[in-house]
Amino acid sequence: MQPANRPKLPCAVGQPMAARVPMNALHHRSAKPSSSILRAAVVSCALLSGLACSAILKPRDDVARCGTADDCPGTGNERYVPVCQFDAANANLSNAEFDKICLAVFNPNVSCDDSGITNNQDPFKVALATCAAGSCEADQLGTAGCPPDADGKCGAGLELDDYKGTDFCNDPDSDQPVIPSNALSGAELSGQDVRDMYCKSYFCDDTFVCNNDTKKCVPCDPKEEYGLGGCGIVYQAGPAPAYVLGDSLDDVCDPDDRPNTQEPHFGDTCG
């Protein structure tokens, strides 16, 4: 039941970008959002880390108001869960005097743990078995994500860089940090590119990754280490074969579809 006789906030919502949307936005989309917009939001949040990462919208009467999350309608999509809260700019307002607003936030409980999947024909298991990135081959030296060639050089347009003390060829034009595939050779990060792609596919957003600590899908955080929620795209002579990124992900993934009824999307060579 909606709380009664409380003044409405002057603005409908202040929302951390790429993390939450007004409830009504899930049901009134004129076009599906581009992954490039969400990528830009993550970068903006990183650059504006000293400020509240929010968008203040004009007053709207169609935003659902609430006292608790129980007052909010369901999202109708497993990617999102409803919350009831003030926006960051009005966090100090009194619950007793003002309505809060219903927001849909990304579901924090989506598992990317493959250990419980017993069906070896499951697309997730097949991708892990067939196209997980590994150490670069000799003929890949000097390409993006691999060590430099025998002369210590990288191919055209690439820059010599290091990842945790190991030299590799970096692609300066990558939308996200380049993670060299050799970094995945240890057991801790083995198959990380595939687990990340599972999360990207589930949320129709290539900034999502699998946090190996919690085994949950999360929006990547530029401040965190790769594998523990940090941002990054694994490269092995280019983006790892498990990935479907950017516009290609937009083309195959419809954020209005219920993800639990869809098979995850992986690269064409997986399987």
Question: Going by DSSP bridges, is the β-strand pair 178-180/233-235 parallel, antiparallel, or unpaired?
Answer: parallel
Residue 75 confidence (pLDDT): 82
- Tell which phi-psi region holds residue 207, choosing left (phi > 0), alpha (psi between -120 and 50) or beta: alpha
Amino acid letter, 172: P
Cβ 197 vs Cβ 205: under 8 Å:
no
Mean of the pLDDT values across residues 54-67?
Answer: 54
Amino acid in position 39: R
Which two structure tokens, joined as six digits, stand for 268?
């064409």
25 touches 235 (CB < 8 A): no
- Most confidently modeled range among 5-9, 58-62, 248-252: 248-252
Residue-level pLDDT at 40:
44
227 torsion bin: left (phi>0), alpha (psi -120 to 50), beta (else): left
Range 185-211 average pLDDT: 92
Query: What pLDDT does 242 receive?
Result: 97
The per-residue pLDDT of the chain, averaged, comes to 79
> pLDDT band for position 93 (50/70/90)?
low
Question: Is 190 in contact with 177 (CB distance < 8 Å)?
Answer: no
Helices (H), 93-155: 123-130
Token digits of residue 261? 């009824």
Average pLDDT over residues 205-217: 96
Q: What is the pLDDT of residues 129-178, one digit of tens each?
A: 999 999 999 999 999 999 999 999 999 999 999 999 999 999 999 999 99
Q: Provide the pairing of β-strand 208-211 with 100-106.
A: unpaired
pLDDT for 220:
97
- Residue 235 has what pLDDT? 97
pLDDT for 187: 73
Banded model confidence at residue 31, pLDDT cuts 50, 70, 90: very low
Report the pLDDT averaged over residues 20-24.
53
Q: Residue 50 carries which side chain, given as an amino acid letter? A: G
Q: What average pLDDT score do residues 94-101 get?
A: 70
pLDDT recorded at residue 5: 42
The pLDDT of residue 21 is 53
Q: What is the pLDDT of residue 129?
A: 94
Nearest to 164 by CA among 227, 219, 208: 227
Q: Is the CB of residue 221 less than 8 Å from the CB of residue 177?
A: no
- For 98-113, how does the pLDDT look when each residue is reduced to its tens digit (9 = 90+)? 678 888 889 999 999 9
The radius of gyration of the chain's CA atoms, rounded to the nearest angstrom, is 21
The answer to whether residue 67 scores a pLDDT higher than 60 is yes
Give the pLDDT band of residue 16 (cuts 50, 70, 90).
very low
Rounded mean pLDDT, 8-21: 38
Average pLDDT (221-248) is 96
Between 259 and 205, the higher pLDDT residue: 205
Q: What is the mean pLDDT of residues 116-120?
A: 88
Q: Which helix (H) or strand (E) holds 37?
A: helix 35-47
